[in-house]
C-alpha cells in the first residue's frame, strides 16, 4: 500500500496567492525571536565570510589556511585536523553524527535548523532586508507589484538587483576561497588575473544564491527541500514547536466585538483577527489553520502576536 503525504495547505495557499498575483512578501516584525534571528544571521554570515581568511601554521610545505578543501592534493584541512582520502570514514562518521543531531533536535524543538540557521533561511532573510530597505515594507511592496514602471520604481529595481548581485558574488567568491588559497585568489582578483575555472564556479554559485534567495525563497523550503517530507516521519507531538492555541484564540473576532460579547456573557477568543501572524510569515501560511508541514518554525508569527 502506498502512503502519500501531501502538503495540501501549502499547495492551496501557493496556488491562491499565485492566482491573485500576490507573491509572499513578509512584513517586518520586531520582537524577541526576531532579535535572536538577527544575531544568528550575523553570526553565521560572519563565520561563512571570515573562515577562509583565517590562517593556521602547519609548518613548511603545508598550506597555512585554517579551513581548506585541497582537491588537487586530496586533503581536507580543518584547523589542527588533516584528513587524507583513506580517512574519509571520519567524514562519513561526522555526517552521520550531524544527521543524528539534526533528527534529535527536531524531536526536541521541531525545525529549529530550518527556521534559524539553514543557509536558505539566512540568505533569504538578508535579501529580504535589502528589499525592505530599498522598496519599503510589505504594504508598499505589494502596491509595487502592479505599479507603473516610472523612474522611481526603475531606480528601486536596479538598486535592489545590484545589491542582490553584489551579495551573491561575494557569496560565490567566498565559497571558492574554501577550495584554494584565499589571499592568493584575492590578490589575483586585484590583478584581474583570475582563472576561467574559478570565474566559472563563482558565476555558478553566485547565480544559485541570487536565484534561491532572491526569487525562489519560501518555494525552496516548501517544495524543493526534502525536510518537510521527512518531518512527517520524525515529527514528535511533544516537540517545542510553533502552534496556535485555538482553545484560547477562537472564536476570533475584533477587540471591540470581543469586549461586547464578554459583557453579554458570551464567549470570545483572544485572537483579534488582525492577520499580523500571516503578514509576517516568510512562508505565507496561516498558523491558525493548524500545524503545517510547510512551517519552518521560525517563530516570527509569535513575535507578531506579542506586540
Ligand atoms: S497575530 Fe494572528 S493569532 Fe495573533 S491576534 Fe493577530 S490574527 Fe490572531
Ligand atoms: S507559521 Fe510562524 S513559525 Fe511557521 S513559518 Fe510562518 S511565521 Fe514561521
| pLDDT at residue 11 greater than cutoff 60 | no
Which of 109, 301, 303, 305 for a ligand 2 pocket mutation test, highest count of atoms within 8 Å of Cβ?
301
Give the number of the atom of ligand 1 that is nearest the alpha carbon of residue 252: 8
How many whole angstroms separate alpha carbon 284 and alpha carbon 277? 9
Task: Give the mean model confidence (pLDDT) for residues 230-259.
Answer: 87
Q: Does the C-beta of 273 come closer than 6 Å to ligand 1? A: yes
Q: Does the C-beta of 280 come closer than 6 Å to ligand 1? A: no
pLDDT of 97: 95
| pLDDT at residue 3 greater than cutoff 70 | no
Q: Does the C-beta of 27 come closer than 6 Å to ligand 1? A: no
pLDDT of 236: 81
pLDDT range class, residue 4, cuts 50, 70, 90: very low
Give the number of the atom of ligand 2 that is nearest the alpha carbon of residue 296: 5
| Residues near 186 by beta carbon (within 8 Å), at least 6 away in sequence | 177
Cell of 176: 571558492
pLDDT range class, residue 20, cuts 50, 70, 90: low
pTM here?
A: 0.89
pLDDT range class, residue 10, cuts 50, 70, 90: very low
- Alpha carbon dihedral 124, 28, 223, 167, in 10-degree steps, equals -10
Which of 30, 272, 303 for a ligand 1 pocket mutation test, highest count of atoms within 8 Å of Cβ?
272
Taking the CA of 222 as reference, the closest ligand is 2
How many whole angstroms separate alpha carbon 153 and alpha carbon 121? 27
pLDDT range class, residue 224, cuts 50, 70, 90: very high
pLDDT range class, residue 180, cuts 50, 70, 90: very high
Taking the CA of 244 as reference, the closest ligand is 1
pLDDT of 13: 52
| Residues near 96 by beta carbon (within 8 Å), at least 6 away in sequence | none
Task: Report cis status (omega within 30 of 0) of the bond before 237.
Answer: no
Specify whether the CB–CB gap between 77 and 56 falls below 8 A: yes
Q: Ligand 1 centroid to 118 CA: how many Å?
A: 26
Domain ranges of the chain: 23-242
Amino acid at each position: 500500500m502506498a502512503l502519500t503525504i501531501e502538503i495540501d495547505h501549502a499547495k492551496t495557499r501557493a496556488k491562491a496567492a499565485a492566482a491573485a498575483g500576490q507573491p509572499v512578501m513578509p512584513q517586518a516584525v520586531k520582537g524577541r525571536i526576531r532579535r535572536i534571528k538577527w544575531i544568528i544571521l550575523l553570526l553565521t554570515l560572519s563565520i561563512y565570510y571570515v573562515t577562509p581568511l583565517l590562517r593556521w601554521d602547519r609548518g613548511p610545505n603545508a598550506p597555512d589556511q585554517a579551513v581548506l578543501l585541497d582537491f588537487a592534493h586530496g586533503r581536507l584541512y580543518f584547523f589542527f585536523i588533516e584528513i587524507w582520502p583513506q580517512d574519509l570514514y571520519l567524514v562519513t562518521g561526522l555526517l552521520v553524527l550531524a544527521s543524528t543531531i539534526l533528527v534529535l533536535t527536531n524531536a526536541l524543538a521541531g525545525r529549529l535548523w530550518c527556521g534559524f540557521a539553514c543557509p536558505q533561511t539566512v540568505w533569504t532573510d538578508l535579501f529580504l532586508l535589502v528589499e525592505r530597505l530599498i522598496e519599503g515594507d510589505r504594504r508598499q511592496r505589494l502596491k509595487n507589484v502592479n505599479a507603473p514602471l516610472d523612474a522611481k520604481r526603475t531606480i528601486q529595481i536596479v538598486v535592489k538587483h545590484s545589491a542582490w548581485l553584489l551579495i551573491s558574488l561575494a557569496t560565490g567568491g567566498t565559497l571558492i576561497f574554501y577550495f584554494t588559497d584565499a589571499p592568493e585568489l584575492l590578490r589575483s582578483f586585484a590583478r584581474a588575473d583570475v582563472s576561467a575555472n574559478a570565474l566559472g564556479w563563482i558565476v555558478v554559485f553566485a547565480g544559485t544564491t541570487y536565484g534561491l534567495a532572491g526569487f525562489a525563497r519560501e518555494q525552496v523550503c516548501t517544495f524543493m527541500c526534502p525536510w518537510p517530507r521527512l518531518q512527517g516521519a520524525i515529527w514528535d507531538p511533544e516537540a517545542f514547536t510553533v502552534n496556535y492555541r485555538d482553545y484560547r484564540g477562537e472564536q476570533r473576532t475584533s477587540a471591540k466585538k470581543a469586549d461586547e460579547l464578554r459583557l453579554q456573557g458570551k464567549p470570545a477568543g483572544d485572537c483579534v483577527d488582525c492577520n499580523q501572524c500571516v503578514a509576517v510569515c516568510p512562508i505565507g501560511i496561516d498558523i491558525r489553520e493548524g500545524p503545517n508541514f510547510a512551517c519552518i518554525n521560525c517563530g516570527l508569527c509569535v513575535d507578531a502576536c506579542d506586540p
